[in-house]
Amino acid sequence: MGLVLPTALPVSVALAWVFGKLGWNAATPVLWWVGPLLLYVLLPILDLFFGPDGQNPPDEVMERLENDKYYRYCTYAFIPFQMVSLVLACYLWAAEDLSWLGISGGLGLISKIGVTLTIGVVGGVGINTAHELGHKRENLERWLSKITLAQTLYGHFYIEHNRGHHVRVATPEDPASARFAESFWMFLPRSMFGSLKSAWELEKTRMQRINQPTWSLRNDVLNAWVMSIVLFGGLTAVFGWQVLPFLIIQAFYGASLLESVNYLEHYGLLRQRTASGRYERCAPVHSWNSDHIVTNIFLYHLQRHSDHHANPLRRYQTLRSMAGAPTCPAGTPP
């Protein structure tokens, strides 16, 4: 089900062509809003209908389940569909003649906004896919994580999340942990800019440690940015400058979806300092969780967040619901 969102726009184009043939042109604009409709309407309804499922995989199947490559191939498959959707969205945004879809001229403003938000949803869920891949030891999966992040200009997430957030989670030093009574609109710029600053400092320190210049492509912040520049530059070269505002807006929207999840996952939770002056060990009580089955399927069990912080290398299919962890009353889609 994690592939529903990245395939939604190609499916919408196919339906638009069918609607055009049937003369249902008035219904076509709704198709370009498929991303927000899935995220904000269908997913919550399905979560409400199917409810939570707190069952965990039995201990005796954990190792076999962890090593089952089917689940990692599902994350790999997200990326080509993501890129196809992004190229298709650029085409729809720039095209001046969509008569083959039964549309006179190009897309109108409302339809263009729908396409932008839809591809932004794909990018937001793509960050979650990158999150799953970026925690793994295999170089292939780490590079796939960076490629997935290129759409949202959020390549620094790969560094800051693994080496910053997982160390400082639920402390005042973590920009991605929301404070009690902090609004989302106060949290959003603090997390975005704080995470970028943190990622740069982490890589600057690493480059000094290995005796390499900070401004080098071995710097993972810089090589991630290069991927975004190449991607955006290539799309702009093919479809024209008019797609650049679209690319920037969808990237910001996609990144803000990630930050909305960050806001919920540790909101108001704080690790206390011990007598030694260090923070207590991160425990299940320091993450918000949800067992709502539909959202968990869509988001690679991201909502079993306490187990993720306890076992960051564990693959999504084996993440467990933990007793005593704070629980959200509903699913937490990005």
Within a domain: residue 159? yes
Within a domain: residue 71? yes
For 107-145, the pLDDT digits (tens) are 999 999 999 999 999 999 999 999 999 998 888 999 999
d(CA 26, CA 13): 15
What pLDDT is stored for residue 271 in this prediction? 96
Q: Which of 214, 255, 294 is nearest to 125 (CA)?
A: 255
Q: Which of 110, 90, 133 is nearest to 248 (CA)?
A: 90
Q: Which of 47, 8, 48, 46 is nearest to 30 (CA)?
A: 8
* CA triple 187-190-191, angle to 5 deg: 80
What pLDDT is stored for residue 54 in this prediction? 85
Burial 118-133 (b: 16+ CB within 10 A, else e): bbbbbbbbbbbbbbbb
pLDDT for 67 beyond 70: yes
Within a domain: residue 187? yes
Within a domain: residue 274? no
**Phi, psi of 179, deg, nearest 5:** -85, 155
In the block, residue with structure tokens 């969509």: 98
pLDDT for 259 beyond 70: yes
Structure tokens at 124: 């937001």
What pLDDT is stored for residue 333 in this prediction? 58
Within a domain: residue 284? no
What pLDDT is stored for residue 332 in this prediction? 66
Model confidence band, residue 179 (pLDDT cutoffs 50, 70, 90) = very high
What pLDDT is stored for residue 180 in this prediction? 95
What pLDDT is stored for residue 1 in this prediction? 59
In the block, residue with structure tokens 């800051």: 160
Q: Which of 76, 231, 38 is nearest to 152 (CA)?
A: 231
What pLDDT is stored for residue 213 in this prediction? 95
Residue type, 214: T
pLDDT for 38 beyond 60: yes
For 141-159, the pLDDT digits (tens) are 999 999 999 999 999 999 9
In the block, residue with structure tokens 């929301």: 178
Q: Which of 332, 260, 268, 327 is nearest to 300 (CA)?
A: 332
In DSSP terms, 292 is beta-bridged to 52
For 187-241, the pLDDT digits (tens) are 999 999 999 999 999 999 999 999 999 999 999 999 999 999 999 999 999 999 9
Within a domain: residue 237? yes
Within a domain: residue 169? yes
pLDDT for 96 beyond 90: yes
pTM of the model: 0.94
Task: Compute how many other C-beta atoms are within 10 angstroms of the C-beta atom of residue 163.
Answer: 17
Q: Which of 286, 5, 43 is nearest to 127 (CA)?
A: 5
Residue range 28-37: mean pLDDT, rounded? 96
Number of domains in the chain: 1
| Residue 108 belongs to domain spanning | 8-255
What pLDDT is stored for residue 55 in this prediction? 87
Asked if 256 and 188 touch (Cβ cutoff 8 Å), the reply is: yes
Residue type, 123: G
Within a domain: residue 281? no
What pLDDT is stored for residue 281 in this prediction? 93
Cα distances (Å, whole numbers) of residue 51 to 48, 72, 281: 5, 26, 32
d(CA 204, CA 201): 5
Alpha-helical regions (H) of 67-165:
69-94, 109-134, 139-149, 157-160
* CA triple 107-113-118, angle to 5 deg: 105
d(CA 324, CA 322): 6
